[in-house]
Amino acid sequence: MTPNDEWGLIGRVAIVTGGGATGDGIGNGRAAAILLARAGAHVLVVDRELARAERTVAMIEAEGGSAAAAPYDVTVDTQCAAMVQNAVSRWGRLDCLDNNVGIGSKGSVVDESEQNWHRVMHANVDSMFLACRHAIPTMIRTAGGGSIVTISSISALRPRGLTAYSVSKGAVIALTKAMAVDHGPDGIRVNCVFPGPVYTPMVYARGMSDTARENRRKASVLGREGTGWDVGAAVRFLLSEQARYITGQVLGVDGGATLVGPSRASE
C-alpha cells in the first residue's frame, strides 16, 4: 500500500469504534477502518470482541496498512480514556474518531421496557458522549484539532416502529451539532452519517429472507443495495481534509430512501 495524500490522512491517527465484524463481513466500522488505512492513517480498531477487531487489522495489514486492535467497551468512561491513551501511546497523537457503536431495538414506548430503553440509550448515545469526552481534549493537545464522525440512522428521520432506537439516533444528530458548535473554535469538526437500509453483517446475522433483502434494495430510489463500503467511504471523506470546511452536517447514505414514504415491511 502506497497511498498518495489526496485525503490529507497520511500519518494521521484514527480510532474506529465498533470496527470489527463477523467473519470476513464488511460492516460500516470495518469498511471505514480499511479505507482510512488505505489513505495512510494509523488506525486503532476497537471492538468489545477482540477477535473481530483483530480480523479487521489483519485485513489492513495484508494491504500494507498500519493498524492495531483493542477490546474496549465504549459505554465505560475509564475504558474510553484508556482507548484514547492507547492510540496516543502508539502513534503520538489523535486526529480522527469514528463513533460507530450501536445496537437495535423494536417496539413503541408502550412495548418497550424501562430497562431496555436505558440499555439502548447507553449503548447508542452515552458511548459517543464518553468517547468524545476523552478524544476531544486529546485531539486539541496532540494535533491542534481533529475530526469526528458519529453514526446515526435513517430511523432518526423516518421512524418506523423502532422507537427507542429512533430516539437514540436522533440524539446522536443533536449531539453532533452541539459538539460542532462547542468545539469548532478548537479546530474540531464534527459530522454525522446516517445509513439507510445497507446490507451489513449486523443486519444479516439476525437472519434475513431473500424477499426482505429485495424489499430493502427497492427502498432505494437508485434501485441498488448499499453496503458497509458506502458508509465507510462517507466516513473517510468527512474525517479527511477534503471536508475541511464541513462541520455540523448530517449526511445520508441511503440511496435516496428518505425521499420516499416509509415502509416497515421493506426494512
Evaluate whether 48 touches 94 at the Cβ level (below 8 Å): no
- At position 183, the amino acid (one-letter code) is H
Distance in angstroms (rounded) separating the CA atoms of residues 171 and 202: 21
Q: 240 phi and psi, to 5 degrees?
A: -85, 170
H or E element in which residue 43 lies: strand 42-46
Evaluate whether 95 touches 12 at the Cβ level (below 8 Å): yes
Evaluate whether 99 touches 128 at the Cβ level (below 8 Å): yes
Q: Which ranges of the chain does DSSP label H, i.e. alpha helix?
A: 28-38, 50-62, 77-91, 114-121, 127-143, 163-183, 201-204, 210-218, 228-239
Which residues are within 8 A (CB) of 209 and not within 5 positions of it... i.e. 6 or more apart?
none
Distance from the first to the final alpha carbon of the chain: 37
Residue 165 designated active-site: yes
Distance in angstroms (rounded) separating the CA atoms of residues 119 and 105: 10
Instruction: Give the closest residue to 84 by CA, choosing from 16, 186, 174.
Output: 16
The active-site residue out of 72, 165, 199, 245 is 165
Any idea which residues carry the catalytic annotation? 165
